[in-house]
Amino acid sequence: MRSNRQVSPGFYLLEAELPIRPDRIPRAGQFCMLRSWDSIPVLSRPISVFDAQGSRVFFLYKTVGRGTAIFSRLNPGDSLTIQGPLGNGFPMDLWSNAPGRIAMVGGGAGIAPFYLGAKQYRGAGCTVDLYLGFSGAAFLTDEYRDRADSVTVNVGGRITDEIDPTGYDAIFTCGPEIMMKALWEKCKACGVGERIFVSLEARMACGVGACYGCSKQTAGGNKKVCKDGPVFPAEDVL
Ligand SMILES: Cc1cc2nc3c(=O)[nH]c(=O)nc-3n(C[C@H](O)[C@H](O)[C@H](O)COP(=O)(O)OP(=O)(O)OC[C@H]3O[C@@H](n4cnc5c(N)ncnc54)[C@H](O)[C@@H]3O)c2cc1C
């Protein structure tokens, strides 16, 4: 682990070394299973890839319990086991002709996948508007501004009030379920419900689809959040 700094009370940005095969470069929305302990807690913790630069990988995490509290006490040079990248990530194949216009809507730690997302989708020629919601003070907004066509920030209110979903070819969201559901309802009311993709959170054990611990009922049958997701079309899971 190379660095681990607090970016806001309760939020940390961690940088680590991860030798990445060229065919496994992390995509926005993919995650890694992290652990920095031997046996207790038993399970590794899933954290989205915030950024990837060569063999450097970054994670933005919020301390909520035992595992993330242990992460927050890591110092440069401490060992960290990283398994991944895992899961499907946000779709990259939505446009058959010209690249589209995308809104990325994140709340709290749910802003994490969209730092990499803004870089990758703009790199593919898309226009990317970011909508970042914070319940406390905003953080890393200058860094996000450097990567997106526009950034809208809401502190203490509802980020979903800030967006007109009709202007977008696709809308990606990650964060509190209540926020993602409100956005989905808004998209449906505007007649664009099929354009929204959500990144689901679930308690995970293996992270690779072997244990079925994160199974979720969807319109297409039972799906594993870790392997079939964490990104799903909203209409399949909400
Ligand atoms: C695919 C995926 C990507 C994620 N990416 C990020 C990220 O980039 N940054 C980040 O901060 N967090 C992320 N999370 C959430 C993160 O995995 C959990 O916050 C973490 O596992 C909590 O571990 P803990 O040991 O600190 O908390 P625990 O001690 O395990 O739990 C503390 C409290 O948090 C609740 N909780 C724990 N995990 C979850 C969860 N997944 N969903 C809902 N409630 C939970 C528990 O019920 C408990 O009340 C992601 C989760 C998933 C599934």
Query: What pLDDT digit, counting tens, does each position of 158-190 carry?
Result: 999 999 999 999 999 999 999 999 999 999 999
Q: What is the pLDDT of residue 187?
A: 97
Q: How many Å lie between the centroid of ligand 1 and the Cα of residue 113?
A: 15
At residue 16, the 3 state secondary structure works out as strand
To the nearest whole percent, how much of the chain has pLDDT over 90? 93
Q: Which atom of ligand 1 is nearest to the CA of 63?
A: 26
State which of 12, 36, 51, 68 you would mutate to test the pocket of ligand 1, scoring each by most atoms of that ligand within 8 A of its C-beta: 68
CA gap 151, 18 in Å, rounded: 29
Sign of CA dihedral 75, 79, 80, 84: positive
Distance in Å from the first CA to the final CA of the chain: 37
pTM, to two decimals: 0.96
Q: What is the best residue among 64, 82, 180 to mutate for testing ligand 1's pocket, by most ligand atoms within 8 Å of CB?
A: 64
pLDDT tens per residue across span 15-71: 999 988 888 999 999 999 999 999 999 999 999 999 999 999 999 999 999 999 999
∠ CA 47-214-118, rounded to 5°? 35
Residue 93 has what pLDDT?
A: 85
